[in-house]
Structure 1
Amino acid sequence: MKVILNKGITVKNELKKEVDLDFDKLTGNDFIAAEKEVRQLGDQSPSVVLSMNYQAALVARIIGVPVDDVLALPGSDFKKLILPAANFLLS
């Protein structure tokens, strides 16, 4: 799924205004590692799939950036990336 960002995100020193959220790139190991990462950040959500931190961690893995880069995005860009992740996890 292609997502067009307003401000963009820097990936490997290049500003990207369009990212491809291909959730099939993720493996089970990615899901477990993302959960561990957000738990270490203090996320205590009873169901991790409902956590925006977890969704951001998965998106970050797809894009190839640290989760902090996704969390630091302006609200409109953050929402554009998180909603597809939530839909993927909850469908």
Structure 2
Amino acid sequence: MKIKLKKPFNKGEVTVTEFDIDFVKLTGYQIIEAEVEARGMGETSPNPLFSSRGLAIIAAKASGHIPEDIIGLSAPDFLMVTNTVSNFLYGWVLPGLIQEPSEG
């Protein structure tokens, strides 16, 4: 999934104009690692994956960037990227909690 940035940024000699987030390439190991990293960065929420910091770390892992790249985005870009990750995570969590109406 490509997210076009409203405010591109420079990384070395390259101008980053979009993030290509590939959730399919993420592994369970990387998700667990993201939780550990978020806690190591001072995250204290009960589920650090769903905190802004945790979402930024997952976005970094899914896009090949570092968390600081995500955290340093302009507010609109940061919110677009982290909300995309949140929608991905909740899309996996919520369907199992929602019961389909029974027929008959």
Same topology, TM > 0.5: yes
Distance 1:11 1:29 in 2: 27
Q: Deviation string for 1:18-74 (max 9, x for gaps)?
A: 222111110011101111111001101112232111110011112222211211111
Residue 92 of structure 2 corresponds to residue 89 of structure 1 = no
Residue 62 of structure 2 corresponds to residue 69 of structure 1 = no
Distance 1:29 1:44, change over 3 A: same
Give 1:1-91 correspondences, 5 Å limit: 1-10=1-10, 13-91=13-91
Distance 1:30 1:12, change over 3 A: farther
Instruction: Supply the AA of the counterpart residue of 1:5.
Output: L
When the two chains are superposed, the root-mean-square deviation of aligned CA atoms in Å is: 1.6
Give the count of matched residue pairs.
91
8 Å contact 2:38–2:49 — kept in the other structure? no
Distance 2:90 2:49 in 1: 7
Distance 1:12 1:21, change over 3 A: farther
Distance 1:62 1:7 in 2: 20
Distance 2:31 2:13 in 1: 26
Larger Rg: 2
Distance 2:41 2:64 in 1: 19
8 Å contact 1:8–1:77 — kept in the other structure? no
Give ranges in structure 1 of 5+ residues lacking alignment. Answer: none
Give ranges in structure 2 of 5+ residues lacking alignment. Answer: 92-104
8 Å contact 1:8–1:18 — kept in the other structure? yes
Instruction: Supply the AA of the counterpart residue of 2:47.
Output: S
**Looking at both structures, which has the greater relative contact order when contacts are Cα pairs under 8 Å and sequence separation is at least 6?**
1
